[in-house]
Amino acid sequence: MKAIKIKLKYGLNTNPKTKSISGTSRQSSSKGSVTNYHVRKTATGNEPGTAKRPTQAETHRKESQRVTRTSRAVTFNTDVRTGNVIKDKWKLPTQRTEPASGLRGCNAAHEGQQLVNEVLRVPVDMLFDMLFSGTSKFVERLHAKRNSTDLRLGIWKVNRDGLLTRELQVTVQLQASVGPKCARVTEYYTQRSCCKPGFLYSIDVKSVNAGIPYEDAFYVAIHYCMLRTADNNTELKVFAEVKFVKSTWAVIQMFIQKHAYEGLHEYFSDLLQELLIEIASPQRQDILNTDRSLRICK
């Protein structure tokens, strides 16, 4: 009798208020197909066979609008192996990704979301100086445009493992309508052993936040891959992943991931936009032309 009641409750009632998974439904999931059907329905949010799927044209139009709104130059949420767009913006890839072509020689795992995938018309050593030099005017301008303050650029030093490391500190503005309005960010940079100046820079960044809720529960791991192309330009790829260092409720993790990835997408969109402006500037073009002339003379 009890089983019949369960079937009626979960099999026929379409009131959304009764669709959430309860303890009763989980416990009885193996007792009958009706309860299993309920679980499937809850997982997808739609009844089997009746889910309204967008047409291919609709999906393509929505993706195009989303990318165009943010930045034409940035490739967001793409699977490294296939190049396909990941539909759920905040969902992390569940499989470890394999190095794509263009990442040859880099020994990193390339995990997490791919935030940047661009070929820039600038030599790889020059791009390294722009992004990672301890005296980079480009980084200073980028943070100034983002209204960040108290920027401290560290210089590269050799650590006990023989790897080059540096630190960067900056206070960034937060866009959230509630909560703190700024956060102190410390970034720890490490050049991987596979780096070959002139050809490949492989840099890991551990980004730690202070002054925000759950600041000690997580950090953000960022990986930069900069590879020289055959025509002396640079292929820039950036990956990022939120790493949790303390056990935290799933709902809190989702909250942290959502806001962290929002911040990352926003930052790298700004960074790429500023890079393109910088590379196209007359001053930078003069430097590039001089560099090309010297290369031809050699």
**Interface contacts to Zn ion, rule CB under 5 A:** 106, 108, 202, 225
Task: Report in angstroms how near the CB of residue 206 gets to Zn ion at its nearest.
Answer: 15
Task: Report in angstroms how near the CB of residue 198 gets to Zn ion at its nearest.
Answer: 16
Task: Report in angstroms how near the CB of residue 97 gets to Zn ion at its nearest.
Answer: 11
Residue of 139, 274, 124, 249 lying closest to 195 (CA atoms): 124
In this structure, what token pair is assigned to residue 228? 């020289």
Collapsing DSSP states into helix, strand and coil, what is residue 16?
Answer: helix
Q: How far apart are the first and last CA of the chain?
A: 90
Residue 202 or 234 having the CB closest to Zn ion: 202
Residue of 162, 163, 165, 166 lying closest to 152 (CA atoms): 166
Residue 3 or 194 having the CB closest to Zn ion: 194
Task: Report in angstroms how near the CB of residue 107 gets to Zn ion at its nearest.
Answer: 8
Task: Report in angstroms how near the CB of residue 140 gets to Zn ion at its nearest.
Answer: 26
Residues contacting 173, CB < 8 A, separation 6+: 146, 147, 148, 181, 182
Residue 103 or 256 having the CB closest to Zn ion: 103
Residue 204 or 270 having the CB closest to Zn ion: 204
Residue 73 or 108 having the CB closest to Zn ion: 108
Collapsing DSSP states into helix, strand and coil, what is residue 296?
Answer: helix
Q: Is the Cβ–Cβ distance between 27 and 39 less than 8 Å?
A: no
Residue 124 or 225 having the CB closest to Zn ion: 225
Collapsing DSSP states into helix, strand and coil, what is residue 236?
Answer: strand
Task: Report in angstroms how near the CB of residue 200 gets to Zn ion at its nearest.
Answer: 8
DSSP E strand boundaries for 182-230: 182-191, 200-210, 218-228
Percent helix, strand and coil across the chain, each to the nearest 5: 35, 25, 40
